[in-house]
């Protein structure tokens, strides 16, 4: 464990040209969710830039193993076994240590374990579809899971979500919270998904696609995918002779 005090300076402002606009009629639910008035920018409070704090003792033994964390003793989830790993970084490229990474997903057939789920695919009795882990000193995280299936959703007549895993990340402050989705390299459904199409920058979409990482496969067991997550970094002090920062 490091003995250095945490940074308490403000975070970088969100780049709104990089994120999807709030109102994107092709993604129908955004019509009701989007703000009705102009946004207001507020300075972060101390609680927003210094918390939360998580300890490794909050994790269960199999929280980062979705293959077995919901299964009956001696049994496992059904589907293609995969390993997902990567780093949580700030905008300076530095690893974010101690970040809480939570993830949830549909099963191999594309169905969520949720009481309001309406898709007809079968539930897997040994797959819960959620887990969590905490990044190490270099910002690394890893978990095992089943590759999720695609599923239809009632946005258009024939709209389908590509295979994806949801992520929620808490960095070093509440203002460094991120909720995002990870897609899989080579999936042709990514580029026709109405949600993905709300993202204005093609490079931003590519940043949501996990690369197949054959070098970290587990032989005769599972393929690996690498997915790095970038959170807002700390704001550097500006100097008159160095506008780019110190």
pLDDT in tens, the chain (246 residues): 555 666 777 888 888 888 889 999 999 999 999 998 888 877 878 878 877 777 767 899 999 999 999 999 999 999 999 999 999 999 989 999 999 999 999 999 999 999 889 899 999 999 999 999 999 999 999 999 999 999 999 999 999 999 999 999 998 888 888 999 999 999 999 999 999 999 999 999 999 999 999 999 999 999 999 999 999 887 655 455 444 443
pLDDT of residue 165: 98
Residue of 147, 164, 232, 234 marked active site: 164
pLDDT of residue 243: 46
pLDDT of residue 235: 67
CB-based contact 121:149 (threshold 8 Å): yes
Residue of 81, 166, 177, 223 marked active site: 166
Residue of 112, 141, 183, 225 marked active site: 112
pLDDT of residue 173: 86
What is the per-residue DSSP string for 96-145? -TT-EEEEE---TTS----TT----SPP-TT---EEEEE--TTSEEEEEE
pLDDT of residue 241: 47
The matching CATH number, chosen from 3.40.1190.20, 2.30.110.10, 1.10.357.10, 2.60.130.10, for 49-230 is: 2.60.130.10
Q: Is 112 a residue of the active site?
A: yes
Threshold 0.85, pTM exceeds:
yes
Q: Is 151 a residue of the active site?
A: yes
Dihedral (CA of 88, 18, 180, 6) sign: positive
pLDDT of residue 154: 92
Q: Is 166 a residue of the active site?
A: yes
Residue of 111, 161, 172, 232 marked active site: 161
Separation CA 25–CA 40 (nearest Å): 23
Contacts of 197 (CB under 8 A, 6+ apart): 24, 26, 27, 191
What do you get for the CA distance between the two ends of the chain, in Å?
Answer: 27
Q: Is 161 a residue of the active site?
A: yes
The residue ranges of every structural domain in the chain are: 49-230
**Structure-token pair, residue 100:** 């809480």
Residue of 27, 151, 183, 225 marked active site: 151
Taking residue 48's Cβ as centre, other Cβ atoms within 10 Å add up to 16
CB-based contact 79:107 (threshold 8 Å): yes
pLDDT of residue 245: 44
């Amino acid at each position: 464990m490091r003995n250095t005090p945490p940074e308490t300076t403000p975070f970088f402002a969100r780049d709104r040209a990089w994120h999807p606009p709030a109102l994107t009629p092709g993604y129908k639910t955004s019509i009701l969710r989007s703000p009705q008035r102009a946004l207001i920018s507020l300075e972060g409070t101390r609680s927003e830039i210094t918390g939360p704090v998580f300890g490794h003792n909050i994790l269960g033994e199999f929280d980062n193993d979705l293959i077995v964390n919901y299964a009956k003793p001696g049994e496992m989830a059904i589907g293609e076994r995969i390993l997902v790993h990567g780093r949580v970084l700030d905008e300076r490229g530095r690893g974010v240590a101690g970040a809480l990474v939570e993830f949830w997903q549909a099963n191999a057939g594309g169905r969520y374990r949720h009481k309001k789920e309406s898709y007809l695919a079968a539930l897997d009795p040994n797959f819960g579809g959620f887990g969590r882990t905490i990044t190490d000193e270099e910002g690394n995280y890893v978990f095992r899971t089943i590759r999720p299936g695609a599923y239809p959703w009632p946005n258009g007549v024939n709209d389908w979500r590509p295979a994806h895993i949801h992520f929620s990340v808490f960095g070093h402050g509440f203002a460094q919270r991120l909720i995002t989705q990870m897609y899989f390299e080579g999936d042709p459904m990514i580029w026709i998904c109405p949600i993905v199409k709300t993202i204005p920058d093609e490079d931003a979409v590519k940043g949501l696609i996990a690369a197949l990482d054959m070098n970290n496969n587990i032989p005769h067991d599972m393929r690996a995918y690498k997915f790095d997550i970038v959170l807002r970094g700390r704001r550097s002090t500006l100097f008159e002779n160095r506008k780019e920062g110190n």
